[in-house]
Amino acid sequence: MYEKIKDSLYKIKTERPSCTSYLILDNQKNILIDPGLYQKYPILKENLEEIGVSPEDIDIVLNTHEHADHIGANKYFQNHSMIMAHRYAATKIIYQDKEILHCRGNDHDLKGYEVHSWLENNSVIELGDWFIRTIYTPGHTSGCVCFYEPRKRLLFTGDTVFARGKISDTGTSGSYGEYINSLSILRTLKVDMILPGHGSISSKVDEDINEAIDNASKRRERSL
């Protein structure tokens, strides 16, 4: 199922437990954010084709972090698309780190994943109508990033923050201290819309991020 968010931006849902994917169509390059689970690729492909795009038309795949429900379908794109992830996520993806071992419960081989470009905080992807800035947001995992479009005031948050201030747990490489700091950084951005990796899109940005900080603080206190 897909939904057109605005001109050149689509939200694609491929059934739980796979994440939500986002498709950006540009006159220079086409970008797919988080292709989702390996097993759900046929649904993703069908949605892309209904929009009028083939998988081979995707030029760049951006990963918000290294979990299988976000990166599993990378394998279907890596021979013709540039795969990009934060360097901490990239090393785990390439070397089959235990952070992505969720894959074993999803019946596919961990080997053979590629990342072609390693992102850092403030790495920028500039296209014709899109200017996408990487915001490093560790907390859920050490390799988490959000993708920020300052001119369109959009924030693609992966599993960092969801509508109504919901947050993720911390993986083996995450921490609530880092989580709180990352959310505090996001609070300084000018954003009209949060586009998360699961659940609803949010336009109550300040309210949701403040609630997320409160939730992360409470979880940190309980973990002490």
What CATH code is carried by the domain that includes residue 44?
Answer: 3.60.15.10
Domain that holds residue 131: 2-223
Output the pTM of the full model. 0.95
Count structural domains, the chain. 1
Dihedral, CA of residue 72, residue 73, residue 76 and residue 80, to nearest 10: -90
Tokens 């919901």, located at residue: 166
Q: Mean pLDDT of successive 10-residue segments in the chain (224 residues)?
A: 94 93 95 95 97 97 94 96 97 80 59 94 94 97 96 98 95 88 98 98 98 95 82
pLDDT for res 104: 52
Q: How far is CA 25 from CA 11, 154, 158, 223, in A?
A: 12, 15, 19, 43
